[in-house]
Structure 1
Amino acid sequence: MSQQELVSYFKQATMEMQLEYERIRLRATEDPGTAGDEGEENWASLFRKWLPGDLQIATKGRVLCGSGEATDQVDIVALSASYPHGMLVKKMHLASEVMAIFECKTTLKAHHIEKTIASASRAKEAIYKAHGKEVIYGLVAHSHSWGSDSSKVAEIISGKLAEASSAHVEHPNNSLDFVCIADLGSWTLRTEWDEDYYGPGVVSYYSGPAFVNLNGKSGTDTSPIGRMVTYTLRRLSYLDEKYRGLASYFGMSGLEGIGSWATSNLRIWTDFNSKRRHVDLFY
């Protein structure tokens, strides 16, 4: 498979997600519950296609820690290859085998961002306390509620991410890892340590989509879904080295794009309101 073919596959995946959004939206007012379930299945199907084949994708339920603490309800979980098949249909997912958690929205709104960031922070802290492991936590959506000016919408979302993270996240590792809006762009967490450039402390921010003019129409420099999957693979390779080869191949394709970010949205961590001191650095 050439790198260009990989890029074209994700363009196709993005188009399919947009068509599904139009179909689901036609009936959403009649039955929002069914519309939400269909949206989740769209994303679950995509993760089954594009995340490593040994991961097991399950929908709905809560993540149960060995301590007895359970997370808020989640939409999709990616479970390790060793997860017992008999437990896949159960709706209490064993935290020790959870690799990634995904919240799904059909049309993303501001309160979804804040609620997901708060849930992600609580879940990550609980899983780490009980099992000493990190997990990936992402928010995905077919579309959004902020209108058609892509650049302005990107600024709004970047601001909401920074605002909600400041209010709900007390350790860099407990941050929401990414937001992917299929028809707009992806925001991915970056955590750096560079005293010469930033001064003392760890710095975190979200690298948002870069918009370019494509045939007279503004768009991102790469597929939002391709960028999200490539970032997720890279993050998975930090959790388990067996995914490094696949993550490297996707990274070479250019699917992550060039990204963009504003210094006003930087968060500098000089002290953590958590007993956990280790910080994972992601560039």
Structure 2
Amino acid sequence: MTERAQEAPDTAWLRSAFMGVQEELVLKLKLASSSIGHAPTIGSVNEDHWITVFRTYLPKRYEVATGFVIDSRGARSDQIDLVIYDKHFTPTLLDQQSHRYIPAEAVYAVFEAKPHFDKDYLKYAGEKAASVRKLHRTSVSIAHAGGKYAPKKPFPILAGIVAARASWADGLGKSFSGNLPTSGNNELNCGCALDHGAFDDFDGNVNVTPRDGALIYFLFRLLGRLQSIGSVPAIDWSAYAGIIDSDTL
């Protein structure tokens, strides 16, 4: 064996380990589906499994929770299964148990966790995304030793869907792509159907990866996209204070 061959990287063990994470999640979702007879409870358990996976693989600067997104004008989104938001600079508000009320300025991405991909669930996830994207977001300048950083323009909020599988015979094929919302506030940027693969549009077009290793591929692609976004805008807390000061109260 040549020296070059001896030095070739051995990634098989790492790929196997990553695929094991995916299979473990598949089993958990199947167990929830088969052992819990109450549909809302199944949904809640599945959300918790996905939240655990996201929290495990995203850095601590990001938090993941179920909740509502709110803005400084009093508007509120639909309830969102998984919200990825800034944990370092922005507190959540009006929290009730495990449900969060998250300022729109803090939000990086929103996901719906469903039993499978189909036409109705894709449409539903797009509508949930739109309820967040239409909210008002503030941004103010930040003081530093040499002066001030200009207000950061709010970035487009990412949206997606995660599930155990796709319902179509061709998986994430033509049936999927023909029903995927790809424009406007309803656009879905990424997602993962564990039994069939993952997708994202981070390179400009919708790309689909096969089943094997799809979960970790999806998470690493999402992480790379989040890194490219950088920090959230500096929230204008005076705008939220204005709600308390309002003459309408």
Relative to the length of structure 2, the TM-score reads 0.72
Between structure 1 and structure 2, the one with the greater Rg is: 2
For residues 226-282 of structure 1, what are the alpha-carbon distances to aligned partners after superposition, in whole Å with 9 as ceiling and x for unaligned? Answer: 1211111111112117xxxxxxxxxxxxxxxxxxxxxxxxxxxxxxxxxxxxxxxxx
| SS of alignment partner, residue 99 of structure 1 | strand
Alignment of 1:36-75 (within 5 A): 36-59=43-66, 61-75=67-81
Count of residues in correspondence between the two structures:
205
User: Secondary structure at the residue paired with 2:73?
Assistant: coil
Q: Using the alignment, how far apart are the partners of 1:97 and 1:74 within structure 2?
A: 14
**Shift of residue 125 of structure 1?**
3.6
The one of 148, 162, 167 equivalent to 1:140 is 162
Code of the residue aligned with 1:142 in structure 2: it is: A
Structure 1 residues 126, 15: CA separation in 2 closer, same or farther (over 3 Å shift)? same
Match of 2:6 in 1: none
Specify the code of the residue in structure 1 equivalent to 2:105: S
Structure 1 residues 170 and 80 mapped into 2: Cα distance closer, same or farther (>3 Å)? closer
2: CA distance, partners of 1:54 / 1:190: 21
SS in 2 for 1:75: strand
Map 1:234-253 → 2, pairs under 5 A? 234-240=224-230
2:184 corresponds to? 170
Asked whether 1:158 is paired with 2:165, we answer no
| Residue correspondence of structure 1 range 208-247 to structure 2 within 5 A | 208-210=208-210, 220=211, 222-240=212-230
Q: Using the alignment, how far apart are the partners of 2:14 and 2:126 within structure 1?
A: 31
* Contiguous gaps of at least 5 residues in structure 1: 193-204, 211-219, 242-283
> What amino acid is aligned across from residue 145 of structure 1 in structure 2?
S
CA distance in 1, matches of 2:93, 2:135: 25
| CA-based RMSD | 2.6
Alignment check: 8 A CA contact 1:127 1:133 kept: no
Change (3 A) 1:34 1:12: same
Q: Alpha carbons of 1:85 and 1:6: their partners in 2 closer, same or farther (altered >3 Å)?
A: farther
| Structure 2 counterpart SS, 1:208 | strand
Q: CA deviation at 1:5?
A: 5.0
- Conserved in 1, the CA contact under 8 Å of 2:92 and 2:100? no
Q: Give the structure with the higher percent helix.
A: 1
Corresponding residue number in structure 2 for 1:92: 101
Question: How far apart are 1:4 and its partner, in Å?
Answer: 4.8
Map 1:4-43 onto structure 2 (within 5 A).
Answer: 4-28=12-36, 30-43=37-50
* CA displacement 1:42-96 (0-9 Å, x = unmatched): 100001110112222222x210122322111101112213233776655321111
For residues 5 and 80 of structure 1, the distance between their equivalents in structure 2, rounded to whole angstroms, comes to 33
Q: How does 1:112-123 map to 2 (within 5 A)?
A: 112-123=121-132
Q: Is the 8 A contact 2:78 2:128 kept in 1?
A: yes
Whichever residue aligns with residue 46 of structure 1, its letter is V
Q: CA deviation at 1:11?
A: 0.5
Kept in 1: contact 2:92–2:101 (CA 8 A): no
What is the CA–CA distance in structure 2 between the aligned matches of 1:175 and 1:86, rounded to whole Å? Answer: 27
Deviation at 1:117, TM superposition (A): 1.6
Deviation per residue, 1:171-201 (Å, 9 max, x gap)? 7xx6211121011111101464xxxxxxxxx
Describe the shift of the 1:224–1:134 C-alpha distance in structure 2 as closer, same or farther (beyond 3 A). same
The percent of aligned pairs where both chains have the same amino acid is 23
Contact 2:80–2:128 (Cα < 8 Å) also in 1: no
State the match for 1:214 in structure 2.
none
SS in 2 for 1:141: strand
| Offset, 1:122 | 4.0
Q: Secondary structure at the match of 1:70?
A: coil
Paired with 2:19 and 2:116, the residues of 1 have a C-alpha distance of: 20
Tell me, what secondary structure is at the counterpart of 1:93?
strand
CA distance in structure 1 between the aligned counterparts of 2:78 and 2:203, rounded to whole angstroms: 25
